Amino acid sequence: MSPSAEGWAALAELGRRGGPVLWVITGVALVVYGQLAYGLVELTGAAGRDAAARCQRRLISIRAGIAAAPLLGLLGTVGGLVTSFEGLMADGRPTALADGIGQAMLTTEYGLLVAAPALVLCGLLERRVRRVAVSGAAPGATP
């Protein structure tokens, strides 16, 4: 199996174990990190107050995504626990309990792993936006 095929297989397995909530968190992560990267790149170039204003507006949706990621992880936790108890009630197998708890922990961890670094990058972007808004020129831009 090629490395890229192994990666896709691992991603499919992760999605199977984490359930649909994990895919939603992945979508939130893609949007948040894409917006953060776009904002950081936009402010790195020779941009002025207009770019800072655009980034300031973008920060609203970035903060919403950062706040949503751990909450979606919590939703996955509840879903995993419901799955655990349904499986335990249906056939009494301990593996059903373990699968549901595994899903619960995976989605919680993933939600936090998405939010924590994004929060740090959001702070960096906010500082750059303030600096550009005050000075009128991007950091590192040559006049």
* Average pLDDT, 10 consecutive residues per value, the chain (143 residues): 74 76 90 92 76 89 95 92 85 80 90 95 92 71 47
**What is residue 69's predicted lDDT score, i.e. its pLDDT?**
96
Complete DSSP assignment for 43-73: HHSS--HHHHHHHHHHHHHHHHHHHHHHHHH
Tokens of 97: 């309990």
**What is residue 138's predicted lDDT score, i.e. its pLDDT?**
53
**What is residue 3's predicted lDDT score, i.e. its pLDDT?**
65
**What is residue 142's predicted lDDT score, i.e. its pLDDT?**
47
